[in-house]
Amino acid sequence: MDVLRPPLININGRIYRRNIIREEQYEEEEEDFSYMGPPESEELEAETSESHFIEQIDNGFRCGIDVPAVIYKYIIGKKGETRKRLETETKTTINIPKHGVEGQIVVTGPHKSAVCSAITRIELLVDNFRKKQPFTHFLSFPLNDPKIQEGFLRFKDEVLEQYSQDSGLDESIFQNPAKLHMTIGTLTLLSASEVRKACESLRDCQNFIRNTTGGKPLPLQVAGIEYMNDDPTMVDVLYAKVNTKDGSDKLQVIADRLVDYFVVAEQMTKQWDRVKLHGTVINTLFRKGATEEASGGFGRQTTPEREAFDARNILKSFGAYHFGELELNTVELSQRYSADSTGYYSSAGRVRFS
């Protein structure tokens, strides 16, 4: 680490330096954080008190914070060392539920500022762990209408019939027709409580969605294909273009406002100024043998190197391909790596346009 330019992290407008500490128990690096700047305890206390209920008890102060059970061991640390260090440095007591039991981590201390400091340190550890995890859920507009599936299967058959010998092209890299969709944004939800809160956020957006659509399904046209990178001979993602039939920007408005709402709710990270609306039809991540592995659904991911394909002939012959039209009527919060009885991703929650 460059001591003159240490890695920084922003939590609720406060800047912290990230110090890397290696612990032999874990394959991954475990990280600790220290605040960069003067010890503004009053300001810290005020900020923490706004976001957490800190109650006064007979011998000091107490606060319970919701933390997914999967993160407990990272707060406890090897032989309890991380928790002991936090307790010693903040002069608090930190009670953590048993492994696998969802509940609150409870911090108690003689001074309110001490409890606030401990809470901030715990939240830094939680935030760091969360950023390392692959996403578990995503918001999407489903495109698995029967007519679109039929058009996609026709596209797939014609492409393979004509260009199966093109470099890198393989049947396994085509999307599952039952899972055709447009991703709006991704979420990392590590507990049942976080999934419930995300569902509540989606329901909160129902009024503006219906105001935008006039309480009616949105007629869409799926036509034309495009690729993600600059070199058509080395393509990883080929997608279908989706547009409203009336030429309005309603679909874009809904997508962008959904992302903004979930970002403010701290359930999603904003990556772009606008959502790139597209329906993936070919993705080299689907290639047979290219799998992701994780321990218990969380942890280190291993993804083999992607093998791109030559898309020049497909783009030339199918650049204006018409997949079909549909009446879009839902926004879905879906679970990754799961499917319902229709073959589409299992829904954790949904909102209808009408």
Q: What is the mean pLDDT of residues 147-172?
A: 97
Q: How far is the C-alpha of 3 from the C-alpha of 20, rounded, in Å?
A: 12
- Give DSSP secondary structure letters for 217-278: -EEEEEEEEEESSS-TTSBSEEEEEEEETT--SHHHHHHHHHHHHHHHTTSS---SSS----
What is the assigned CATH class of domain 8-132? alpha beta
Q: What is the mean pLDDT of residues 301-306?
A: 62
In the chain, what are the domain boundaries? Answer: 8-132, 137-352
CB contact at 8 A, 224 and 265: no
Would the pLDDT of 39 be above 60? Answer: no
Q: How far is the C-alpha of 165 from the C-alpha of 170, rounded, in Å?
A: 9
Structure tokens at 177: 């027709």
- Give DSSP secondary structure letters for 77-143: -GGGHHHHHHHHHHT-EEE-PPTT---EEEEEESSHHHHHHHHHHHHHHHHHHHHHSPP-EEEEEE-
Which is more confidently placed, 344 or 101?
A: 344
Task: Choose the weakest-confidence range: 100-104, 167-171, 250-254, 326-330.
Answer: 100-104
Which is more confidently placed, 51 or 180?
A: 180
Q: How far is the C-alpha of 245 from the C-alpha of 242, rounded, in Å?
A: 9
CB contact at 8 A, 258 and 201: no
> Which tens digits make up the pLDDT trace of 231-282?
999 999 999 999 999 999 999 999 999 999 999 999 999 888 999 999 999 9
Q: How far is the C-alpha of 331 from the C-alpha of 353, rounded, in Å?
A: 8
- What count of other Cβ atoms lies within 10 Å of the Cβ of residue 353? 20
Would the pLDDT of 294 be above 50? Answer: no
CATH topology of domain 137-352: Cyclic Phosphodiesterase; Chain: A, (3.90.1140)
- The residue type at 128: N
> Which tens digits make up the pLDDT trace of 203-230?
999 999 999 999 999 999 999 999 998 9
What is the percentage of the chain residues whose pLDDT exceeds 90?
A: 74
Structure tokens at 250: 């309603």
Predicted local distance difference test score (pLDDT) of residue 272: 87
- CA dist list (Å): 29 to 22, 24, 32, 78, 128: 5, 9, 10, 12, 11
